[in-house]
A and B are shown apart, each in its own frame.
Chain A
């Protein structure tokens, strides 16, 4: 089956630094990928839609200058959390779909900002 790989699975960074999270579709091309954020004991909240070759579409309330998304190829999207602060600590998950099949999710990245 289709696999979406996310890296790193966890990261600890100092406040004020930037962190990059990668999301790869391993056996299919994904023109669209999605980035979600999940707080403890809550469901997933969509942050943005990553479109290959064009700008990402951000959900209302998500700071596009803080959460930079780059979808440079059909198999890779990256999310960069810039100038991270403790309130950015969360679980970030990406997903990708083939054209007519189910959505597949990465393993998630636990970000802790200290």
Chain B
């Protein structure tokens, strides 16, 4: 059974810092990996999707990498801003695309002004 882990559970950084959020998974036979952002009391916003054949994806100040062999993904946030404060979750589908997702518990990020 796939398990997704995100450590630490919380992170506090000063504004402007570059930071890395980690995600690990136990079964390397993944179809893709997706990073989400969740603001308090809100739904999930998809940030980046990395297909299993890809090594990384970029969107603005965000860069996500994937290393299937080691069961790891990282979300890199450049020049962090207070507006980046949220919970970040990674998830992998159980089988192929359009299948249920297994989530990590998330990392709650606080960016201090």
List chain A positions with a Cβ less than 8 A from chain B.
6, 31-32, 34, 42-44, 46, 49, 91, 93, 95, 97-108, 110
Contacts and interface: CB of A to CB of B under 8 A. Distances in A.
B75 to A, nearest CB: 14
Looking at chain B's contact residues, the main secondary structure is: strand
Contacts of B43: 6, 93, 105-108
Most chain A CB inside 10 Å of its own CB: which residue of B45, B89, B101: B101
B100 A101 contact: no
A34 B101 contact: yes
Interface of B: 32, 34, 36, 41-46, 49, 89, 91, 93, 97-98, 100-101, 103-106
B80 to A, nearest CB: 22
Nearest to A59: B100
Looking at chain A's contact residues, the main secondary structure is: strand
Contact of B44 (A31, A49, A97, A105): A105
B89 A43 contact: yes
Contacts, number: 54
Given A43-B106, A101-B49, 14 more contacts: A34-B101, A43-B105, A44-B89, A93-B43, A98-B98, A99-B98, A102-B32, A102-B46, A103-B93, A105-B43, A106-B43, A107-B42, A108-B42, A108-B43
Kindly list the 3 A-B residue pairs having the minimum CB-CB distance in the complex, ordered from nearest: A102-B49, A105-B44, A108-B43
A95 B106 CA distance: 18
Nearest to B47: A102
16 contacts: A42-B105, A43-B89, A43-B103, A43-B104, A91-B41, A93-B44, A97-B98, A99-B97, A100-B97, A100-B98, A102-B46, A103-B93, A104-B46, A105-B44, A108-B41, A108-B42
